[in-house]
Structure 1
């Protein structure tokens, strides 16, 4: 499984989340790399890991990925509400990617953390998911 499959997954995730009007009504943006001076709250893509798996009839990869939400609101409530909306949106995520079939999306876990910098205090929420990818099999 190539890193390109992880990239295709991220593109599908971006399109899916960007198309969710409720989620986008709560966020200032969705980013891979956050532009300097971006308004909060926003969503970013975190770590991605692909592990190969040999099945009886084909090879596949299990991809674990993180979605992060960031807030500078006082307290954790906004970041937790954003995490709930992301998870709601993920329940309908069915990537349609040429030459790759994805299956078995699973929520792994989540956490929130307060990050203090000299300039400000942020809350970061992390949602972790896992999905299987089969190369050479079209989703359509």
Structure 2
């Protein structure tokens, strides 16, 4: 199962580095993103806060470089990930079954929902940056 995490580690590392980069360069936008993740899935609304343009440009340039170079997984990464995929699926099923019969399932569900929203917001942001950079490079 470790091979799965080794193979996809660049994705998680890039997402976390972009998250921390946003936290320190554009804290207003970061705080708005985090507050939007504390809402339920049906209530999510994101309002762009006011921000300073210089840190935003620095953030976009660094985040674009991370998106362009960091998410480029090799075929060896995918092959290593395939080796541990089914073990991870079985492990997650077992953990889910165990959690579903414990009295802590509501608290764990709230934590997982919050974590999932953070991952979705970061992933969507990274997707937007990747698509924009891909379009820019296709026309250059």
| TM-score when normalising by structure 1 | 0.27
Higher helix share: 2
| TM-score when normalising by structure 2 | 0.27
Higher strand share: 1
